[in-house]
């Protein structure tokens, strides 16, 4: 596993226990990277650890908790003194309900996990990404945050992804003069637990898989990747520019 194009690189993937994060972790390791795999429990990461062996360091972390993210950064700083690749992928959907009926705790959990945790990753890993020869940060977003017409009953999730888009693009501007490159990526509909939870009647076999998507994410992590502040859209297989009122 060590002779790929990412040989010697240190990559951190959040939400690595299943779905898209797990597939990206496997693909990064296949290309030679050492993967720091983040999810809430060691138990949920055990399958990945078994699959990747020495190419993986499991790092259980509740991303919504400040101290956990601080400890995670301290672990990486002490052991490697840099981070080559950050794939910020973990997210939750929250309950399906109209904004007017959303409970405080549900709102907070979605925003904490999908937005605040990703800001904290930037806050605590920025120096480590800048210390790398070619730091790469990829944020997994969703079309839900930028549709012309927003879906009903998914407000907190859509709002969190719109905020994530702005967060990643702000970070891209702030790192423009450095070696760090920052990309968003939109998976479209993929066969995962998260998708099954919101579309239980859909035939999962009609969807593409995280393994189909993972090599595209890895492309955005390569030292040769030059673009920043843009979105890779998997359904259209192209890079989208953000446009708004100037
Ligand atoms: N699947 C799709 O069709 C689709 C479409 C558009 C966008 N996306 C985006 O793609 C990303 C991955 O989605 P997925 O479908 O692979 O989801 P998933 O199967 O539900 O996996 C979510 C991952 O996030 C981790 N996670 C959740 N909350 C966490 C927390 N507080 N702290 C640490 N880890 C946490 C989970 O780990 P544990 O539960 O083990 O802790 C799990 O590994 C998300 O950003 C999602 O919004 C997915």
Q: Which atom of ligand 1 is nearest to the CA of 193?
A: 19
Q: Is the minimum distance from the CB of 229 to ligand 1 under 6 angstroms?
A: no
Predicted confidence pLDDT, tens digits, the chain (246 residues): 467 999 999 999 999 999 999 999 999 999 999 999 999 999 999 999 999 999 999 999 999 999 999 999 999 999 999 999 999 999 999 999 999 999 999 999 999 999 999 999 999 999 999 999 999 999 999 999 999 999 999 999 999 999 999 999 999 999 999 999 999 999 999 999 999 999 999 999 999 999 999 999 999 999 999 999 999 999 999 999 988 887
Distance CA 223, CA 146 (A): 28
Distance CA 107, CA 105 (A): 5
* DSSP state letters, the chain: --SSTTTT-EEEEESTTSHHHHHHHHHHHHTT-EEEEE-S-HHHHHHHHHHHGGGEEE----TT-HHHHHHHHHHHHHHHS--SEEEE----------GGG--HHHHHHHHIIIIIHHHHHHHHHHHHHHHSTT-EEEEE--GGGT-SSPPTT-HHHHHHHHHHHHHHHHHHHHTTTSS-EEEEEE--SBSSHHHHHH-TTS-GGGSB-HHHHHHHHHHHTSTT----SEEEETTTTEEE------
Residue 49 makes CB contacts below 8 A (sequence gap 6+) with 37, 56, 58
Q: Is the minimum distance from the CB of 193 to ligand 1 under 6 angstroms?
A: yes
With contact defined as beta carbons under 8 Å apart, do 48 and 58 qualify? yes
- Determine the distance separating the centroid of ligand 1 and the alpha carbon of 177, expressed in angstroms: 31
Q: Whose CA is nearest to atom 47 of ligand 1?
A: 91
Distance CA 217, CA 226 (A): 14
Residue burial 176-197, b: 16+ Cβ < 10 Å; e: rest: eeeebbbbbbbbbbbbbebbee
- Closest Cα to residue 190, out of 37, 46, 40, 18? 18
**157, 213, 232, 234: which one is catalytic?**
157
| CATH class of the domain whose range is 10-240 | alpha beta
- Determine the distance separating the centroid of ligand 1 and the alpha carbon of 193, expressed in angstroms: 8
Q: Which atom of ligand 1 is nearest to the CA of 18?
A: 43
Q: Return the pLDDT at 1.
A: 46
- Determine the distance separating the centroid of ligand 1 and the alpha carbon of 31, expressed in angstroms: 22
Confirm whether 232 is a catalytic residue: no
Distance CA 30, CA 218 (A): 10
With contact defined as beta carbons under 8 Å apart, do 177 and 127 qualify? no
Please return the burial class of 108, using the count of CB atoms within 10 Å of its CB with bins 0-12, 13-18 and 19+: middle
Residue 147 makes CB contacts below 8 A (sequence gap 6+) with 158
Q: Is the minimum distance from the CB of 206 to ligand 1 under 6 angstroms?
A: no
Q: Is the minimum distance from the CB of 195 to ligand 1 under 6 angstroms?
A: yes
Q: Is the minimum distance from the CB of 31 to ligand 1 under 6 angstroms?
A: no
Q: Whose CA is nearest to atom 13 of ligand 1?
A: 20
Residue 172 bridge partners (DSSP): none
Q: Which atom of ligand 1 is nearest to the CA of 90?
A: 24
Q: Return the pLDDT at 2.
A: 61
Q: Which atom of ligand 1 is nearest to the CA of 197?
A: 20
- Determine the distance separating the centroid of ligand 1 and the alpha carbon of 21, expressed in angstroms: 7
């Amino acid at each position: 596993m060590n002779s790929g194009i990412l040989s010697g690189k240190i990559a951190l993937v959040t939400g690595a226990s299943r779905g898209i994060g797990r597939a990206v972790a496997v693909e990064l390791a296949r290309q030679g990277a050492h993967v720091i795999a983040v999810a809430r429990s060691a138990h949920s990461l055990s399958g990945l650890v078994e699959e990747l062996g020495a190419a993986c360091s499991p790092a259980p972390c509740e991303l919504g908790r400040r101290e956990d993210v601080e400890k995670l950064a301290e672990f990486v700083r002490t052991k490697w003194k840099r981070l080559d690749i950050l794939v910020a992928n973990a997210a939750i959907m929250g309950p399906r309900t109209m904004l007017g009926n959303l409970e405080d705790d549900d709102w907070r959990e979605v925003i904490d996990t999908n937005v605040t945790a990703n800001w904290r990753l930037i806050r605590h890993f920025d120096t480590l990404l800048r210390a790398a020869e070619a730091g790469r940060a990829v944020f997994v977003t969703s079309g839900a945050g930028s549709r012309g017409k927003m879906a009903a009953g998914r407000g907190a999730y859509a709002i969190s992804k719109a905020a994530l888009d702005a967060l990643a693009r702000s970070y891209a501007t702030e790192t423009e003069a450095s070696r760090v490159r920052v990309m968003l990526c939109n998976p479209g509909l993929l066969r995962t637990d998260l998708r099954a939870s919101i579309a239980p009647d859909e035939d999962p076999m009609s969807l593409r898989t995280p393994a189909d998507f993972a090599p595209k994410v890895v492309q955005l992590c390569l030292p040769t990747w030059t673009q920043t502040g843009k979105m890779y859209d998997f359904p259209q297989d192209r890079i989208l520019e953000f446009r708004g009122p100037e």
